[in-house]
Structure 1
Amino acid sequence: MELFQSPNLEVISITVAIAAVAAAAAYFYLNSKPKGCLDPENFRNFKLVKRTQLSHNVAKFKFALPTPTSILGLPIGQHISCRGKDSADEEVIKPYTPTTLDTDVGYFELVIKMYPQGRMSHHFREMKVGDYLSVKGPKGRFRYQPGQFRAFGMLAGGSGITPMFQVTRAILENPKDDTKVHLIYANVTYEDILLKEELDSLASSYPDRCHVYYVLNQPPETWNGGVGFVSKGMIEAHCPAPAADIQILRCGPPPMNKAMAAHLDDLGYTKEMQFQF
């Protein structure tokens, strides 16, 4: 009887051993993954390690995370709350979207346009390498899974490009995501265009999946993009048509957001097809 039962006992032992190894591997994997540095309830301080002036009123700020392998832990399309002091030394809190992803380990970056009367603009204008920025998050309603939509249409104005840029990078740099991106980006002048070099690089690297159309209210003499304000005709020409498997994202100044919502409604995009950051 013992000889008859021993093969079964051996199989059971091997099965238990395999299960134990698998469980141990899963535990190691889950616990070895970098944890995000953000706290949704409390502000945490991050050191400014590099500041790059991009134009007279735009700068890129690079902040170090606790270790070279740390990640910020910000879901795609969400933002962080930044706390600082205005010119009257009063506290101010404003949301910003990093241009980096969690694949950029050890640091995160913010591209900030500093307005003359902006309260948080004053804080960033005064920041020097070695200073700390208080950050809390993640924040935001946007949720995205690779392949969730066939295509995105994006309507951005001014600094509203930052969440669009983050989402676009996440999509295009994921080899398992074949979602297409159609971006209309509006500004007043050519000098106001943020992240143009990066956007042009993405469009050039992924010509079948990324299309960028610039619109300027005051274009230079030689200009082959759109002129004036973003119109219904521009949306029809450069964004995917209304469909259940597309979504239109918009982010810009309040007047632009309101105008774009009206255009989209007129063109037949349902509320489910639209999202405003």
Structure 2
Amino acid sequence: MFRAQILSGAGRVLVSPARMPISATSRQLSTQNQGKPLGNAPLYLSLAGLAGLSYYVYGESKQKSPSQKDTPQLVGALSKDEFVDFSLKRIEPYNHNTAKFTFALPENSASLLPVAACILVNAKEAGPKDDKGNPIIRPYTPISPSDTRGEIQLLVKKYDTGKLTPFIFRMKPGDKLGFKGPIPKIPYEANKWDEVAMISGGSGITPMYQILNHALHLKDDKTKFTLIFANVSPADILLREDLDSFKKQHPDRFNVVYVVDKAEGNWTGPTGHVNADLIRKHVPPPSAGEKVKILICGPPGQVKAISGPKEGMKQGRLDGTLKELGYTQDQVFKF
């Protein structure tokens, strides 16, 4: 379901610097509006009266440095009921067919997407249309943390035969795209599972990245993650620098296994498709029961072979390699 992604009332949500973990932001917001004690204000009042108190308060405010001022509270920039237009801020080429597109959000706002959730993107009147003349709508998972102030970033892979990605790649800074959300997927809860296995392909990495970037920053989360990430060639591996960094920083909680169709250069990793042997080697067995969760996101062919296809917005029955290995419907989630 995730194509380029991506690499998910109309009311606004109140909840910082860019890339600060959500948990850290929550702690900050829980304290930022607490008032500062008046200290010796009663003594000033008794000695100098109301005028003295006014002078004291004024003096205190004058002594505050900019860094001591309260950070404005973040407001949700998205609407779940309608598309909101955001302007393209910058484009950063990533590889031969992928780029990062950063869109500007209103001041002191953020996407505030729950994990895991995606958004819907709509090019509206200026973009491509379907067979009925309606604007093309696609789901995307941002790669920027949900509390990133003033920005939202998509990692978009261009498909020459696609209907929306060629249009996005023709956009220039200042052009607008419609965003709508959040579209909830699977709620992530710290320590709900002992292990989470992720099987992904191509641009389907983005919902996995969203979860990893959130969960690995949670101080008290002990959940272990294994990602099996399949691509055509080493050059097609998206977000590899970030994933390798996660592994280096959290060796006890995260491992990534790269798989490619075409080995190039000094490639020593697995080649070919994700198969039963690879899953047996890196994924906890079905006997782990509720302690393990397997997440799937990739091209339709890969999803069909590993877990069986989705049925529209529904999960569909479990099939493919995972069923053959003995996993149950409850142990698997398809993005």
Query: Shorter chain as normaliser: what TM range?
Result: 0.7 to 0.9
2:239 match: 195
In the alignment, does 2:98 pair up with 1:58? yes
Looking at structure 1, the residues matched to 174 and 183 of structure 2 have their Cα atoms a distance apart, in angstroms, of: 26
Does the residue aligned with 2:204 lie in a helix, a strand or coil?
A: helix
- Do 1:183 and 1:239's aligned partners in 2 also have CA atoms closer than 8 Å? no
Does residue 266 of the first structure (1) align with residue 304 of the second (2)?
no
The percentage of aligned residue pairs carrying the same residue is 38
Q: Please tell me whether the aligned partners of residues 171 and 178 of structure 1 are also in contact (alpha carbons under 8 angstroms).
A: no
Runs (4 or more) in structure 1 with deviation over 4 Å come to: 87-90
Shift of 1:154: 0.2
Retained in 2: the 8 A contact 1:87–1:122? no
SS in 2 for 1:91: coil
1:176 alignment partner, one of 213, 220, 234: 220
Map 1:99-178 → 2, pairs under 5 A: 99-178=143-222
Structure 2 counterpart of 1:22: none
1:190-239 CA distance string (max 9 Å, x none): 11111111111111111111100000011114212110000111111112
Match of 2:282 among 238, 243, 258: 238
Give the match for residue 111 of structure 2.
72
Deviation at 1:122, TM superposition (A): 1.6
The farther-off stretch of 83-92 and 158-167 is: 83-92
1:133-191 superposed Cα distances (whole Å, 9 cap, x missing partner): 11001113311222211111000011000000111111101112121110000011111
TM-score (norm 1): 0.85
What residue ranges of structure 1 are gaps of 5+ in the alignment?
A: 1-24
Structure ranking higher in strand proportion: 1
Are the counterparts in 2 of residues 86 and 122 from structure 1 also a CA contact under 8 Å?
no
The alignment's TM-score, normalised by the length of structure 2, stands at: 0.71
Residue 86 of structure 1 is matched in structure 2 by 128
8 A contact 1:182–1:240 mirrored in 2: no
Distance (Å, rounded) in 1 between the aligned partners of 2:187 and 2:73: 21
Q: Does the 8 Å CA contact 1:147/1:177 hold for their aligned counterparts? A: yes
State the Cα deviation string for residues 47-73 of structure 1 (Å, max 9, x = none): 211110112210001112111x32202
**Which SS does the other structure have where 2:247 is aligned?**
helix
Count, aligned residues: 249
Report SS of the residue matched to 1:197.
helix
Give the Cα separation in 2 of the matches to 1:86 and 1:251: 25
Residue type at the aligned position of 2:296 = R
Q: Give deviations 1:2-56, integer Å, cap 9, x for gaps.
A: xxxxxxxxxxxxxxxxxxxxxxx99x68xx7523211111000112111101122
SS in 2 for 1:119: coil
Structure with bigger RCO (C-alpha 8 Å, 6+ apart): 2
8 Å contact kept, 2:74–2:149: no
Q: Contact conserved, 2:112 with 2:147, CA < 8 A, in 1?
A: no
